[in-house]
Structure formats: structure tokens, C-alpha cells
Amino acid sequence: MAQPGRPPAGRNYDAEKARAAAGGQSVKSLRAGYVPRAAAKNQLVAGPDGMPPLSLVPSNNGLDLALPNGDLIDYNILALRHFKIFAFRVVGMGFYEDPEKPFKFRNGQRVQAVREPANEHDNNAVAIHAGRPAKKIGYVNKQRAPWVAKLLDASQKLDGIIIQSKASSPRVLLTTPEMLAYLQRD
């Protein structure tokens, strides 16, 4: 039921959806405070050192990629792959989590990417391991797995951290050790 002086909830969502579409975003990206994709893509240009103008910063979402002016970049922007930056929700956790001892994650927690070329379900499979001792928690999703698998198959070392731990499935950022150190700089 609508409250006096407020439009019905459906209209608010429709207005949000229209605003998001006008900016080339999803409602989720708009709500998270991310810069519209087109604007972000134009700003993701490598500097003289070959690095993007980004850093990892704390936000309401967990850890986010931010431009020098503080604007947040959506992790789903494909331009990030040119810098070997991949962010995704871990999939398949239900197969590895013990209901008696649920996984506990924190933002900034280190994870490892482990290639599984003989995986019967996906020849691009990349498992994600976390904790001490390291334990498989799930996999890179099918959209990102081919890119990540190609790098691992070429002997590229990748480091990872959990960037959003609040959801039932954590969001992980994988990149080169050099890029991760750069993104975490002060």
C-alpha cells in the first residue's frame, strides 16, 4: 500500500529503470553508485606505466574499483579484461560448503585460482581456493573462466582477493600480482 505523499513502489522502480537505461546501466549498477559504462570505458585508459587509473577502495558494497576522482567502476565492464582484471561471484559453493561449518569470508581475504583442465563439466574450469589450509570453495563462472583459464594455461600467475563478502556467494577479483599490488596501493 502506498504511503501518503509517495508514489507507488512500482513507479519508483520504473523511474529507476528509466534512469539506469538512459545511462546505459542496470538498476543494480545505478543503485550501487557505479559510473555509467560508456563513461567508465572512456576513462579506463592505461597511463604511461601501462596501468589503469584505478584503485581498490572500501565502499558500501565491500571493496570497489574507483577512479582518481572517487567514482566507482562496475566490475562487469569488459574493458577491465584488457588489464587482466576479472571480478565474478564464486559459483558452485553448495557442493563444497559443509552445512555444519559454513564458509566465513572477509573483504580483502586472499584466494587462489587453481586450473582444472580435466574437469568433466568444463574444460576451462578454474577452481577458487580459500582459507588455511586452502580449501576449494567453488569456481570462476563460465563467462570469465575462458579468459582466466587462458592466462593460467600460459603460466600467468594470478592473485585474488574477496571484494564482496556479504552475499551468500562472495565476489572475487583475480588479476596479476603486479596489478593487485597496484590496485591496493595507498
The CATH number of whichever domain residue 172 belongs to comes to 3.30.70.2330
User: Which grid coordinates belong to 174?
Assistant: 583475480
- The pTM assigned to this predicted structure is 0.81
In a domain, 123, yes or no: yes
Query: Over its length of 186 residues, how does the chain's per-residue pLDDT go in tens digits?
Result: 445 555 455 557 677 667 667 766 665 665 667 888 788 888 999 999 999 999 999 988 899 999 999 999 988 888 899 999 999 999 999 888 887 877 889 999 999 999 999 999 999 999 999 988 889 999 999 999 999 999 999 999 999 999 999 878 899 999 999 999 999 997
In a domain, 140, yes or no: yes
In a domain, 84, yes or no: yes
In a domain, 95, yes or no: yes
In this structure, how many other beta carbons lie within 10 angstroms of the beta carbon of residue 123?
A: 12
> Taking the mean position of all CA atoms in its chain, how far away is CA 156?
19
Neighbouring C-alpha atoms within 13 Å toward the C-beta of 181: 3
Range of the domain at 170: 78-183
The total domain count for the chain is 1
The CA-based dihedral angle spanning residues 25, 29, 35, 39, taken in that order and rounded to the nearest 10 degrees: -30
